[in-house]
Structure 1
Amino acid sequence: MLKNLSSGTKISITRSIKTSFEQYMASIQWQEDKFDIQDFISSWRTYINEHASWYKNLSDETKNDDEFHQELALKINETMEKILSEEPTSEQIDMLENLQKQSGTDYDYSCKLEAKYLIDRLEGNH
């Protein structure tokens, strides 16, 4: 069912998952022990209902289809796995080393999106 959607819609779905995941993880300050998949799904649902045009364009039949929801769950898992496995860039690593020296902090981070969060936080943007 998901595969039958336009490529633009599929890209928008992935983007909405990534954006919502980034916002959710920032809200829990990337503390993995605070991660709750149900809380994340709830925040993603709120995000797509309020901000995602792709969701508004789906038929009610599609929105209520169990197969569609199963495929979305797989897409969410795949997208989160991809985000969490994406290594920080060398620029991010260098920037974090410098920012942590300046601030006297020593944060652990494991992926590109978490590194971005820490850079923003240490620069005072969070």
Structure 2
Amino acid sequence: MSILSGLSHGIKISITRSITTAFEQYMANIMWEEEAYSPADFMKEWQSYIHKHASWYHDVPDDVKNDPRFHEELAGKINQVVAKIFSEEPTAEQIETLNAQQEKLGTDYDFSCKAEARFYIDLLNEYEKKKLKG
């Protein structure tokens, strides 16, 4: 039996959520530049995130956290979550919103997944607010 599957449902959901949040924060920090992505840098970011913000980390017994199999399973889970993030296509609404924003603001960002589209929508909204304040 895998170590991850032996954890409570709530902890497993929290682990997935922490991977998603940390990954999206990391990608935002590098402006979703896939060429700038570094697995080692992301792992540092994720480890920092779980130590500071993830309640599940404190709920997992130390013997589990120290087990190499747990880390192998976590690495697999991280790969699954990251692959899922990249595979979720932007919604029609996101595409429409981004295309309109980019036309209005004269930008030309490429985006390939839902999370990246959300990042650029937020970025362009902030840019437009600052531009209006002038």
Partner of 2:62: 60
Q: Distance in 2 between matches of 1:4 and 1:91?
A: 39
Residue from 65, 77, 85 that aligns with 1:75: 77
Alignment of 1:115 with 2:114, yes or no, is: no
Q: Any gaps of 5 or more consecutive residues in structure 1?
A: none
Per-residue Cα deviation, 1:68-100 (whole angstroms, up to 9, x for no partner): 000000000000000000000011000001000
How is 1:4-43 mapped onto 2 (pairs within 5 angstroms)? 4-43=6-45
Give how far 1:13 is off. Answer: 0.2
Residue from 104, 108, 117 that aligns with 1:102: 104
Per-residue Cα deviation, 1:5-41 (whole angstroms, up to 9, x for no partner): 1111100000000000010000000011110000000
Per-residue Cα deviation, 1:35-65 (whole angstroms, up to 9, x for no partner): 0000000000000000111001111101100
Aligned-residue sequence identity (percent) comes to: 55
Give how far 1:107 is off. Answer: 1.0
TM-score, normalised to structure 2, is 0.92
Q: Distance in 1 between matches of 2:62 and 2:13?
A: 20
Partner SS, residue 29 of structure 1: coil
Q: Any gaps of 5 or more consecutive residues in structure 2?
A: 128-134
Give how far 1:117 is off. Answer: 0.3
